[in-house]
Amino acid sequence: MSVPPPSASPAPSLPGWSFDAVERRALRMDRARTELQHGRPLALRAGPGQPGLLIAAVETLGAAGWSRWQSGRGALRLLLSAERLQALSQRGDAEAAHLPVPTELDLAGLQALAAVQARPDQAPGGAWGLDWPAERRRAFLASAQPADAAEQAALRLAKLGPLSPALLRLALPADTLDAAVADGLVEIAPQDIEAARGAPRALLRRLSDAHVPITAHEDCTLVLFRELHGETEHLALVVGQPDRSQPVPVRLHSSCFTGDLLGSLRCDCGDQLQGAIERLAEDGGVLLYLAQEGRGTGLASKLRAYRLQDTGLDTLDADRYLGFRADERDFQAAAAMLDALGIARIRLLTNNPAKIEALRAAGIDVVDRLPLVVPSNPHNARYLATKRDRAGHLRDDEQA
Ligand SMILES: Nc1nc2c(ncn2[C@@H]2O[C@H](COP(=O)(O)OP(=O)(O)OP(=O)(O)O)[C@@H](O)[C@H]2O)c(=O)[nH]1
Ligand SMILES: [Zn+2]
């Protein structure tokens, strides 16, 4: 009697364990971001069996991480954002690029080039933080090779950290990366980072809410949203019972630990937060408290930017010195929260036209702008003037 060959039946799957393509991608993004945050290396390549790059964030590397890169000496490159290269070269047209890491450079030198020192006081030589003579600086900049699309994506991933956009970079062949990935190295494809850019609104979960009476108004509800992948949380404070048949007064407030919690005089955030809540208490409205510290650069970078401002740079030049754009925020989450709250037409309390544009682009009908005027003080006068003169903020009498 002949025995039938064993059928190649698929392995029984664990219920709830299979991810769809979008979830897989988000999972890879989560893991990749975590690796950079922890100073660990990450493989960046189009897929298994491909050559690619080993990258790590200079900001989180530390001495132990740095010593692991020593075997790559000679081939190591430093990937920097356009803004950081503009600060180093004093040229407004510099683009993101990677440059050779000199073999004798130590970790402190690398951190200086990447502008991630704990105390980035401006050295006499400007943005470099290294006592390199002019000729050496010129030669270093001349060896820059433009960042390709994958490398640009890597810089964006670092910013999502939120980390400084400065990465170590080592090109490796396919088999080396395959072996490292089999051994636990996390890998990410540039397409994953690209796809996360316009993350769909559904990637925000409404997790909980409660009645929270506050001094300005007793009838308030706090609603907590969490990004589906990752731990970032945004809050909505619904003040009173806004009439949704009319445009609802809304304030988008980007978190500012120093201003909101400590009453820092370096910015206007604390006063804006209180002023907005008082205004919303008049007819009801919604305050969206967005996890976007330091205009999206993170609190560590904001404190570095403050040190640079103490040496004479204004808020925008300080951010550029650190490798950031004038504003690293996006307002997708804000639009998603308004959607979830059933609010489509709003009156926005702001002096920042970019917020209006961003919400409109995300499909929110911004019917008009309500100015938000707060008094200045000797510590924030320059900051407010820079926002008005260089960042396009409106004065209270201007129309958006
Ligand atoms: N990078 C950086 N961020 C800062 C600095 N000062 C304040 N911030 C951040 O700037 C953000 C201020 O946000 P908002 O008040 O919502 O926005 P805005 O762009 O000023 O616009 P409106 O207040 O709506 O007119 C907060 O995230 C602060 O942490 C600074 O010097 N550097
Ligand atoms: Zn602030």
Task: Write the secondary structure of 84-151 as one string of H (helix), E (strand) and C (coil).
Answer: HHHHHHCCCCCCCEEEECCCCCCHHHHHHHHCCCCCCCCECCECCCCCCCHHHHHHHHHCCEECCHHH
315 within a domain of the structure (yes/no)? no
**Are both 175 and 231 inside the same structural domain?**
no
CATH code at 250? 3.40.50.10990
Ligand 1 nearest atom to the CA of residue 297, by list position: 1
Distance 179 CA to ligand 1 centre (A): 45
The pLDDT assigned to 10 comes to 67
Task: Name the token pair of 134.
Answer: 């002019």
Q: Confidence class of residue 106 from pLDDT cuts 50, 70 and 90?
A: very high
Looking at the structure, tell me whether residues 90 and 222 fall in a common domain. no
Q: What secondary structure does DSSP assign to 257-311, as a single string?
A: IIIIIT--SSSSHHHHHHHHHHHHHHH-EEEEEES-GGGGT-HHHHHHHHHHHHT
282 is in which domain, residue-wise?
Answer: 201-292+329-389
313 Cα: distance to centroid of ligand 2 (angstroms): 17
Q: Whose CA is nearest to atom 8 of ligand 1?
A: 294
| Separation CA 152–CA 85 (nearest Å) | 14
- What pLDDT shows up at residue 88? 95
Catalytic residue among 77, 329, 388, 396: 329
pTM of the complete model:
0.91
Both 83 and 163 in one domain: the answer is yes
Look at residue 138 and tell me if it is in a domain: yes
Q: Rounded to an integer, what is the distance from CA 105 to the centroid of its chain?
A: 28
Is the residue at 72 inside a domain?
yes
Question: Do 111 and 130 sit in the same domain of this protein?
Answer: yes
Question: What pLDDT does residue 185 have?
Answer: 97
Last residue of a domain, one of 162, 196, 230: 196
Question: Do 247 and 105 belong together in one domain?
Answer: no
Q: Whose CA is nearest to atom 2 of ligand 1?
A: 294
Total domains present in the chain: 2
Residues above pLDDT 90, as percent of the chain: 76
In a domain, 323, yes or no: no
Q: Tell me: do 155 and 176 sit in the same domain.
A: yes
pLDDT of 243 over the 70 cut: yes
Tens digits of residue pLDDT in 362-398: 999 999 999 988 888 888 888 888 878 887 777 665 5
Question: Is 212 in the same domain as 191?
Answer: no
Residue to mutate (ligand 1; options 295, 372, 395; most atoms within 8 A of CB): 295
Choice among 319, 320, 327, 369 that is catalytic: 327
ipTM of the complex: 0.96
Tokens coding 76: 């190591």
Whichever domain contains 141, its CATH number is 3.90.870
Q: 262 with 371, same domain?
A: yes
**What is the structure's pLDDT at 141?**
97
- Does 40 share its domain with 134? yes
Residues 275 and 382 in one domain: yes
Does the annotation mark 28 as catalytic? no
- Whether residues 188 and 205 fall in one domain: no
Q: Which pLDDT does position 200 carry in this prediction?
A: 59
Protein residues with CB under 6 Å of any ligand 1 atom = 253-256, 267, 269, 272, 292-295, 297, 302, 305, 315, 319, 350-352, 355, 372, 387, 393
Does residue 327 carry a catalytic annotation?
yes
**Per-residue pLDDT, 3:** 55
With the most atoms of ligand 1 within 8 angstroms of its CB, the residue from 83, 250, 252, 254 to mutate is: 254
